Amino acid sequence: MNKILVVEDDETVYSGIKKLLEIQHYYVEVAQNRLKALEKIDYSFSLVIMDVMMPQLDGIETCRKIREKYSVPILFLSAKSEEVDKLEGLEVGGDDYMTKPFSNMELMSKVKALIRRYQVYDKSGTSNIGKDAYIEANGLKVYINRNRAEYNGIEIKLTGKEYEILKLLMQRPDQIYTIELIYENVWGEIFTYNSKNTVMVHVKNLRNKLLEICGEACIQTEWGRGYRFER
């Protein structure tokens, strides 16, 4: 059974989400503030659903703390609808974003899509099947069936979506992938205009991490066309 952590201080909201998820046979734990969230989070969770606005430390800062150790998918919830708020959530390592109010169908669609990308991993973040298979180029090694990338033996800490993007691009080096193709392969959803910034932010974060560890971004932008991994 997949385990989900709901980080939300509004009882009406978290009770509704919890009930919906439990009907769909998910195991749900609730944290009403960031301290409880950071106490509860561990490798057993398949997804975190988190409100952006919370007392003490907001969801953005909580996400930063979680990302220091865990790559579990994070779905942000907020009453804010401005594009800048969505981008901030993605910049710090969030995987997707929903604005309140939202439909049960929309929530379940995103929950299933995020978990589907993560459910092949065991509690330590690795796959039990073929976990040693990998793709390698330019000193960069990406394991096919686990959320792990290395550069000359040094692990690169990636979120689930960053890992999936890198793996997708490395599977066919020098091939140009459009933003639409990346979104539909990695997020598993139909591309819309609003999806463009989501992909661009994740690619930007990924490139910055590669640049920091590898000394080069490896992912090249083909203006007006998309992205490619340069071998």
**Count of CB atoms situated within 10 Å of the CB of 56:** 10
Q: Which residues have CB under 8 Å from 151's CB, separation 6+?
A: 139, 140, 141, 210, 213, 214
**Tokens matching residue 36:** 């409880």
Tens of each residue's pLDDT in the chain, 231 residues: 789 999 998 899 999 999 999 999 999 999 998 889 999 998 788 899 998 887 666 888 889 888 888 888 999 988 776 666 777 888 888 888 888 888 999 999 999 888 876 654 433 343 333 456 788 888 888 887 778 899 988 899 999 899 999 998 988 877 889 999 899 889 888 888 888 999 999 999 999 999 988 887 789 999 888 999 987
What's the whole-model pTM score?
0.63
SS3 content of the chain, % helix, strand, coil (to 5): 40, 20, 40
